[in-house]
Amino acid sequence: MNSPCVAVDVSKGKSYYQGFYDFKNPTTKATPFMHDLEGLKSMYEAGQKIKGTYGEVVYVFESTGIYHKIIETFLMNQGEKCIILNPLEASRVRKTAIRATKTDARDCMSIAKAYYTNDYRLHNQKDELYEKLQSMNGYYNFLVQQLREMKVCFRNALDIVYPRFDEVYPDPYLDIPKAILSRYPHPDELKSKRAETIVKYIMKDTKHRESKATEEAKKLKSYIDNVSSGCRNSAHEVSILKTLVTQINDQETEIDLCLDDMRDIVNEIPLYHQLMTIPGIGDNLAIRLIGELGDLERFERSEQLVAYAGIDPRVHQSGQMTGEHLHITKKGNKHLRTLLFLAVSSNVRLGKSNPILEFYNKKRQQTNPLVYKAALIACANKLLRIIFGMYKSGRNFHQ
């Protein structure tokens, strides 16, 4: 029998708690409290009364992304036992009622029923480590998205100020083109400079040798002598271009620092090194996968991990009519699904013989062949099962 609990229905700024000896015997009514020190203490004291009577208590609440963090931190600082549920689990219990009414009082009962009808692991410091990694990966994704938006604006300004610049430098984010654009944000400034001056500044700003700098200066002079800018030197697009070059540099540095911080954490996790033995998974992808996979110890079977990612097939069955198709549930971690898709896409593009590529070819060449994307999703499912097996066995990927 599970211990007495305090079920907490979490929402923004204000939540409800209710004590239970068991599911059919609540010790209190659902009571509201604010997410401030006074409110948190009232929830905590309700738990201490139960603890004083029955000897122990567990605080049970749903993971809500960010709103549950204040409750989690407060209780962990007090040394209390916590269980954090997937919101879908309490929702599933609520929907089993004939009248699936959703109220704050009923939500506490649904959380308690989920707790008493299932076995859950207690939240611990190891979970906090993986939560930190997941949070850092979310910040990394945010920085990358910001960088993409900066690059869109940068390209627009570049096409106006320096037309056809991409013909000279297909990748304008390399060190030499960025150094030139930062120092000479308008073609007129570059036209007035001698080749020797350009060579000197390329060497100074990028640390390239003279031979390379001379080659680049000749290329630039050939381009600049025939370019016609779409704006004057005093135009706003010129200042935008110069500002964006600096911002892109700073953003790339911030992204690298974020990834370095994550690498320092995952370097002590064996699965990180195991993941990098899989073709298509490099350092960056392995770090981010660890952040989204979390502690695999909480899964007993690979099917549970597949369901966590939301790439398990959706099955509809009624009597003799069976409809099993390749649409996935998507009820899971969407960021993990994205990373898995990237991993199997890279694996297939490499073309290096391994079980994942063989599985992909099999799905594409079967009697009813899968389309490209569906085959990759099937491979992502297989990859997750392989990762789970690697974790349990402690072995690297075998090609």
Nearest in space to 340 (alpha carbons), one of 268, 267, 289, 276: 289
Report strand pairing: 14-22 vs 25-26.
antiparallel
Residue 24's pLDDT is what?
Answer: 82
Distance CA(46)–CA(17), nearest Å, equals 9
Q: Is the pLDDT of residue 100 over 60?
A: no
Rounded mean pLDDT of the chain? 88
CB 240 within 8 A of CB 158: no
Q: Is the pLDDT of residue 116 over 80?
A: yes
Residue 127's pLDDT is what?
Answer: 77
Q: How much is the pTM?
A: 0.81
Centroid of chain to Cα 240 = 31
Q: Is the pLDDT of residue 241 over 50?
A: yes
How many CB atoms lie under 10 A from the CB of residue 23? 16
Residue 105's pLDDT is what?
Answer: 62
Distance CA(148)–CA(137), nearest Å, equals 16
Query: What single DSSP character describes residue 120?
Result: -
R_g over Cα of the chain: 28
Residue 35 amino acid letter: H
- Spell out the alpha helix ranges (H) of 172-282: 175-183, 187-191, 195-206, 210-224, 236-266, 270-275
Terminal-to-terminal C-alpha distance of the chain:
46
Q: Which of residues 117 and 94 earns the better pLDDT score?
A: 117
Reported as a pLDDT band with limits 50, 70 and 90, residue 311 is confident
Residue 103's pLDDT is what?
Answer: 61
CB 36 within 8 A of CB 15: no
- Structure confidence by residue, pLDDT tens digits, 191-240: 989 999 999 999 999 989 999 999 999 999 999 989 999 999 999 999 99
- Which residues on adjacent β-strands are paired with residue 6? 19, 59
Share of the chain above pLDDT 90, in %: 66
Q: Is the pLDDT of residue 34 over 90?
A: yes
Distance CA(221)–CA(325), nearest Å, equals 60
Which range has the worst mean pLDDT, 43-47, 82-86, 140-144, 168-172? Answer: 82-86
Q: Is the pLDDT of residue 84 over 60?
A: yes
- Structure confidence by residue, pLDDT tens digits, 346-380: 999 998 899 999 999 999 998 888 888 889 999 99
Distance CA(276)–CA(258), nearest Å, equals 19
Which range has the worst mean pLDDT, 23-32, 70-79, 98-107, 199-208? Answer: 98-107
Reported as a pLDDT band with limits 50, 70 and 90, residue 98 is very low
